[in-house]
C-alpha cells in the first residue's frame, strides 16, 4: 500500500519537477525579449502568448506536486495541535466534502472546455495567427486529474492514519526553510546554539534576582 502511495507521489513530483524548469525558460525568454526589444529594436509579438502559457503550465502542473509535498497553505490555528487521528478525521471529512466535488467538477469542466478548443483548433487572438490554445487549455483537465489522483492518495493516507494512529511517511523534497542547510550556509553548528543557552539562562536568572530584590525592597 505504502509503495503505491509513494509511487503516485513520485509521479506527481516528477511532473512538478519537470515543469518547474519552465521558470528558467520564462526568465530567459523575457530577458532575451527585453534586450531584443530595447537594444536591437526587434520585438516579437509571440512572446506575450509564450510567457502567459509558460506561467500557466508552470503553476497548474505543480498543483499535484505541491499537494504531495504538503506545500498548500493551510490555516494553522488548530491543526498543528491536534492528535494525528483527529487531524486525519478532519482531513478525511473535508476531502470528501470539498476537495472531491471541487476537483471532479474542475476536471470534468476542463475536459469539455479543452475539447471544444480542440474541435475548433482554437488559436490565440492576442496577435494575428497566434499560437494554438488547445494545448494550453488541455492543461486544466490534465492538472485537475493529477491533483484528483494525488487527492485520492491523501485520502488513503488519512484512512491509514486513522488505523495506525500516525501519519504514513513521505518522501522528502526540497524545502523552503531547510534549517540544516541554512545552518550550513551561515556556518552555525548546533553546539554553538547549545552554548548560547547558558547565556539565556544567565540572563533569566539575573532578571529573576533583580525582580526578587526589587520585590523585597518594595515590601
Query: Interaction with other proteins in 12-51: which residues (CB under 8 A)?
Result: 16-17, 19-21, 23-24, 26-27, 30-31, 34, 48, 51
Site map for other proteins, 97-136, x if CB under 8 A?
A: xxxxxxx-xx-xxx-xx----------------------x
- Other Cβ atoms less than 10 A from the Cβ of 151: the count is 18
CB of 203 to other proteins, least distance (A): 6
CB of 4 to other proteins, least distance (A): 22
> Is the separation of the CB atoms in 25 and 54 below 8 Å?
yes
CB of 7 to other proteins, least distance (A): 19
Segment near other proteins (CB under 8 A), from 1-9, 96-104, 156-164, 211-219?
A: 96-104
Which residue, 80 or 219, is less far from other proteins as judged by CB?
80
Q: Which residues inside 139-178 make contact with other proteins, applying CB under 8 A? A: 139-140, 151, 173-177
At 176, is the secondary structure helix, strand, or coil?
coil
> Is the separation of the CB atoms in 167 and 84 below 8 Å?
yes
Which residue, 36 or 160, is less far from other proteins as judged by CB?
36
End-to-end CA distance of the chain: 68
CB of 151 to other proteins, least distance (A): 8
Which residue, 1 or 210, is less far from other proteins as judged by CB?
210
> Is the separation of the CB atoms in 125 and 108 below 8 Å?
no
Which residue, 71 or 168, is less far from other proteins as judged by CB?
71
Q: Please, what is the angle between helix 46-68 and helix 2-20, to 10°?
A: 160
- What contacts 84, CB < 8 A, 6 or more positions away? 161, 165, 166, 167
Set of cell numbers at residue 144? 485537475
CB of 82 to other proteins, least distance (A): 8
> Is the separation of the CB atoms in 39 and 118 below 8 Å?
no
CB of 152 to other proteins, least distance (A): 13
If one asks whether residue 2 binds other proteins (CB under 8 A), the answer comes out as no
> Is the separation of the CB atoms in 122 and 137 below 8 Å?
yes
CB of 219 to other proteins, least distance (A): 24
Task: Give the residues across from 132 on adjacent strands.
Answer: 123
The residue assigned the cell 488548530 is 78
> Is the separation of the CB atoms in 153 and 8 below 8 Å?
yes
Site map for other proteins, 48-87, x if CB under 8 A?
A: x--xx--xx-xxx-xx-xxx-x-xxxxxxxxxxxx----x
Amino acid at each position: 500500500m505504502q509503495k503505491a502511495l509513494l509511487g503516485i507521489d513520485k509521479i506527481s513530483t516528477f511532473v512538478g519537477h519537470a515543469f518547474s524548469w519552465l521558470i528558467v525558460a520564462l526568465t530567459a525568454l523575457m530577458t532575451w525579449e527585453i534586450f531584443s526589444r530595447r537594444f536591437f529594436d526587434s520585438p516579437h509579438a509571440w512572446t506575450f502568448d509564450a510567457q502567459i502559457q509558460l506561467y500557466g503550465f508552470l503553476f497548474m502542473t505543480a498543483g499535484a506536486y505541491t499537494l504531495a509535498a504538503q506545500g498548500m497553505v493551510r490555516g494553522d490555528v488548530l491543526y498543528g495541535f491536534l492528535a494525528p487521528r483527529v487531524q486525519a478525521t478532519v482531513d478525511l471529512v473535508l476531502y470528501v466534502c470539498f476537495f472531491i466535488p471541487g476537483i471532479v467538477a474542475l476536471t470534468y469542466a476542463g475536459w469539455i472546455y479543452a475539447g471544444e478548443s480542440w474541435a475548433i483548433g482554437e488559436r490565440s487572438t492576442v496577435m494575428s495567427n497566434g499560437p494554438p490554445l488547445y494545448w494550453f487549455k488541455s492543461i486544466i483537465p490534465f492538472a485537475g486529474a493529477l491533483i484528483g489522483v494525488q487527492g485520492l492518495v491523501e485520502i488513503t493516507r488519512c484512512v491509514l492514519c486513522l488505523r495506525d494512529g500516525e501519519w504514513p511517511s513521505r518522501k522528502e523534497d526540497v524545502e523552503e526553510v531547510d534549517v540544516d542547510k541554512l545552518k550550513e550556509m551561515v556556518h552555525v553548528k548546533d553546539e554553538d546554539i547549545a552554548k548560547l543557552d547558558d547565556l539565556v539562562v544567565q540572563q533569566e536568572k539575573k532578571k529573576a534576582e533583580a525582580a526578587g530584590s526589587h520585590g523585597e525592597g518594595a515590601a
